[in-house]
Amino acid sequence: MVGKNCYDAYVAILKEELVPALGCTEPIAVAYTAAQAVKALGGRPERIEVWCSGNIIKNVHSVVVPNTNGLKGIEAAAIAGMLSSTPDAKLEVLEGLTPEAAAKIPDYLKQQMCTTKLATKVDNLYIDVRVFAGDKSAQVVVQKDHTNISKIVVNGKIVFEKELSDQKSNVPVTALDKSCLSIKDILEFANTVQLSDIKEIIGKQIKYNTAISEEGLWHQYGVNVGQTLLQCYGYGVNNRAAAMAAAGSDARMSGCPLPVVINSGSGNQGLAVSLPVVEYAKELKSSEEKLYRALVVSNLTAIHIKNSIGRLSAFCGAVTAACGSGAAITYLCGGTYEDISRTVTNTLANVSGIVCDGAKASCAAKIASAVNAAILAHHLSFDCKAFANGDGLVKGDVEATIKSIGRMGREGMKETDQEIIKIMIEK
């Protein structure tokens, strides 16, 4: 059994990472920061400036902001946050945006009261909202994590500032140390954790993520990747696993107002890490306990791999989430540590080259591709087949392979990320 310190850390990591979010996390983070700036100002601003890192601009560019009648972009998100009646609701801040308030957003956009500016030499996750009304002003900075306020300035005076010990890391200073994570310990924890310690958060993930997936299957969102998969390839468990996750992304990326329980700061990753496991558990007639323990494997495996890459990068997070799902599917099927390690390695060897070009409708297709790769990896593993040390970025064991992929995503893809951002913001 894992030691008490490790046990407590793993429970805390799950509680920190698996939280509800209404809408894609980057536009919601912009809305939250704007709402906090307006709160600090003490009234409605006349003008808003939003200074963002390139990765924030990339991930807000093409995704619909919930409860705004289909509006996209940073300005729409910031104004929505300004008009929200629930500024302290963090990633559910737009639950406080009424239809009457949302109807005013297009007029504010026409007035160009809000402008977006690219912030350079900052963290990949960086949002700085400045609001002005007469001779009054306020500024709120969020960085490293979607709701991590690092500075509040009112009328030129700093009223709150948080020390950021590692300016170069993409890992939030407020976050728990995740260096204790390993595939071996994750499996031991999943097998021994008291269900009462994780049942509420895992149960909420199943409930919320299943609901938005079903919404995506039954209504028109994006290009309906989930619906198309079922129509073309049938209702076998492998296809359902991919289709249900894709359908949730279809809805989420098109502004569906239903919440999602996220993973590693991402709703799409929360969907990809959970729904394929739910579908396999149904097919296998797994007990509720087995499903909950499998979702512990899935979530922590995805967090472990993503932690080595960073919150935002050019590396598609659907891949790390699918690694978690694949590991959990192998776990549900009675797989050993060696089996699960092969599944993770095989998935990373296959689709770790998928790039992140922002949040948008095609994320659903990337999720489907990544989940299909994870299922292939699972079947290869159960046949005792795995890509070998020296096959590209594959190393001698699963932890070394995770580090290898992490280095590629964190360091090797920096220039790729910058070029993607340049291409996306070109007029």
Using pLDDT thresholds of 50, 70 and 90, give the confidence band for residue 1: low
Average pLDDT value for residue range 137-150: 95
**Pairing of the two strands 157-161 and 149-154:** antiparallel
Taken in order 293, 298, 299, 304, the sign of the CA dihedral is: positive
> Nearest 5°: phi and psi at 352?
-70, -5
- Beta-carbon contacts of 156 under 8 Å, excluding residues fewer than 6 positions away, are 137
Using pLDDT thresholds of 50, 70 and 90, give the confidence band for residue 427: low
pTM value is 0.91
- Domains in the chain: ranges and CATH: 22-161 (3.30.1330), 181-425 (1.10.4100.10)
Model pLDDT for residues 78-123, shown as the tens digit of each residue: 999 999 999 999 999 999 999 999 999 999 999 999 999 999 999 9
Q: Identify whether the C-beta of residue 368 lies closer than 8 Å to the C-beta of residue 248.
A: no
Alpha-carbon distances of 421 from 146, 167, 185, 355, 359, rounded to whole Å: 19, 21, 37, 12, 12
Average pLDDT value for residue range 194-218: 97
